[in-house]
Chains A and B, each alone.
Chain A
Amino acid sequence: MPDLGPLWLTLGLAASTTAILLLLGAPFAWWLAQTRSPFKPVLEAITALPLVLPPTVIGFYLLIALNPTAPIGAFWVTLTGDTLTFSFAGLVVASVIYSLPFMVQPLQSAFEAIGRGPMEAAASLRASPLDAFFTVAAPLSARGFITASVLTFAHTIGEFGVVLMVGGNIPGRTKVVSIAIYEHVETLRYAQAHVLSAVLLIFSFLVLLFVYAANKRYPVHVG
């Protein structure tokens, strides 16, 4: 039986990343869906960068930005006494950036699909914009929220390159499943690699099945 520690660490990382991205990504996606700012395409392009860049590029820049001699890294050390690089907190920061498009893009298209109509209707019924967001826009985009959260969670679980560069391979701190598998294969412990790989494979399939099934069941709200 292989050590299941990396599995729990991975789930913790994916859950924290999804929670943080929900809080940051939803308002950002809402803004993108509503704005007529000329900077919108710029921000959309930046958001989509993690989709096209090799994980090593993101990992490399994050390593530079988060290391204790850089301003952000140093600030974190004075704040918490721990470094961002080669720590769980650093992995969360890296994952938030790496998984950003998986949260923002489905939410943005869900918000855009709603259009201005229901929000104007809510305003004419005396609902403030914040009230209308939570009572009209969010429930109407429920499917977008589910899709975005599930994809973000699943994508974070599948990370390898960024995690390896920013977090290394420290058991209990930064050794997530994908890295554990890599290590098992490198050291020719195929049995353990098999178990963890199968767990990831089945989990990923179930997640995608859930997303597609949910999209089929509620085809109305998200375009």
Chain B
Amino acid sequence: MSAEHLSLNVKTAFDGFDIDIAETLTLDGATAIFGASGAGKTTLMRSIAGFQTPQSGRIALGDEAWFDSAQKINLPAWRRPAGYMFQDGRLFAHLTVRGNLAFADQRSPGGQYARDHIVDAFALAPLLDRRVTSLSGGECQRVALARTLLSRPRLLLLDEPLAALDRKRKSEILPYLKDLPQRFGAPTLFVSHDIEEVAQLADNILLLANGRVDAYGAAADIISMLDLEPVTGRYDASTLLEGRVAGHDQSLRLTRVALGGAIITMPINDRLADGDAVRLRIRAQDVAIATTKPEGISIRNALPGAVHAITEQSGTAFAEIFIDIGDACLRSRITRASVADLGLAEGMPVYALIKSVSFDGRLS
């Protein structure tokens, strides 16, 4: 099946915020619409779905115009073959899970997959007779996704499908989302402001900033443009490390976490007990590098390691250094000038100075 195209030309302005997005998307697999809040992601999605009308422009799937201000075409939302999955699911509270699925199925033009197939694929059989108010957040999103698929849309629009879920629930839903384009032949557009989510799901990325298209292309290419700072509002590259709680210092209010042989200290987290497995996140911009063991410095966490790789980001002041600390690889973001001054090279022994660590979750 050759990929369809979605032509977007959306101009709209309200409350001093204006949006002018023009791009033709190749609907091949999953496309992430990524950007900071206020970048115009939701406005774009709602305009494609027909929930709001741009002031001017054109939205067309293939040759089929859904909106065209010049030709005065504006298909109402219910006539557009787009399925929209909302952040909060928006299941119908007066119907059971079965009723919600039937609602979509009965109004769909029919399609390549049967209702039972979807029920199986999303493991919904045990939920069918439940009231939707009794579902957990993860179950709710699974039903919502199944319901959207049962209307057999030609284009799936997912508005932050994981935002309302905690990490555990996210990992429940993620496999289903990954499967969508291949299993159900449904090209997908999804909104996200979480780079990890995007990295896991997207084949292509449409990068928005301040209501404009910043970049569009294959996910790997866009993600490798590491300087996402203007888009996300912060530098997001980071390392996830797994370790074990090795004790608390109540008087100094610190928690010690063992990472392999090394010990990291961080502000105390009273909910953790000795021996708990935890995941820590260390942002690349919070890791500095020293070539000798530093003394007379306020930074407490200095881990010995060796430079594993150096990636210079051409066109920017920065380079990314991967430091092998034994059990894991830390990412560090320093200026290219520092790389030259320190004479960094692969294999060189260094100390990774960690300015701050965030606690990312307890592992069961």
Mark A residues whose CB is within 8 Å of B. 117-118, 120-129, 131-132, 135-136, 139-140, 142, 220-221
Are B103 and A125 within 8 A (Cβ)?
Answer: yes
Q: Is the CB of A123 within 8 A of B151?
A: no
Q: Binding site of A, secondary structure by majority: helix, strand, loop or mixed?
A: helix
A120:B51 contact, CB within 8 angstroms: yes
- In the complex, whether B243 has a CB less than 8 A from a CB of chain A is no
Q: Report the Cα distance A134→B322, complex, angstroms.
A: 60
A140-B93, A142-B94, A220-B133 are known contacts; what are 20 more A-B pairs with Cβ within 8 Å?
A117-B88, A117-B90, A120-B77, A120-B84, A122-B103, A123-B51, A123-B77, A124-B77, A124-B78, A124-B82, A124-B83, A125-B83, A125-B147, A126-B79, A126-B107, A127-B78, A129-B76, A139-B94, A220-B93, A221-B94
Mind listing 29 A-B residue pairs with CB under 8 Å?
Answer: A117-B88, A118-B93, A120-B49, A120-B77, A120-B84, A120-B90, A121-B90, A121-B92, A122-B103, A123-B77, A123-B78, A124-B78, A124-B83, A124-B84, A124-B148, A124-B151, A125-B108, A125-B148, A125-B151, A126-B78, A127-B78, A127-B103, A127-B107, A128-B78, A129-B78, A135-B103, A136-B92, A140-B94, A142-B94
Tell me whether B228 is interfacial, beta carbon within 8 Å: no
Q: In the complex, A132→B147 CA distance in Å? A: 16
State whether the Cβ of B50 lies closer than 8 Å to any Cβ in chain A.
Answer: yes
**Once bound together, how far apart are the Cα atoms of A122 and B133, in whole Å?**
18
Residues of chain B within 8 A of A142, CB atoms compared: 94
Residue of A whose beta carbon sits closest to that of B94: A139
CA distance A131 to B151 in the complex (A): 15
Instruction: List residues of chain B with CB within 8 A of the CB of A129.
Output: 76, 78
| Interface pairs A-B: 5 shortest CB-CB | A124-B84, A123-B77, A121-B90, A123-B78, A126-B107
Q: How far is the CB of B139 from chain A (nearest CB, A)?
A: 17
Given A120-B51, A120-B77, A135-B103: A126 touches B90 (CB 8 Å cut-off): no
User: In the bound complex, how far is the Cα of B78 from the Cα of A135, in angstroms?
Assistant: 14
Nearest-neighbour CB distance to chain B for A7, whole angstroms, equals 37
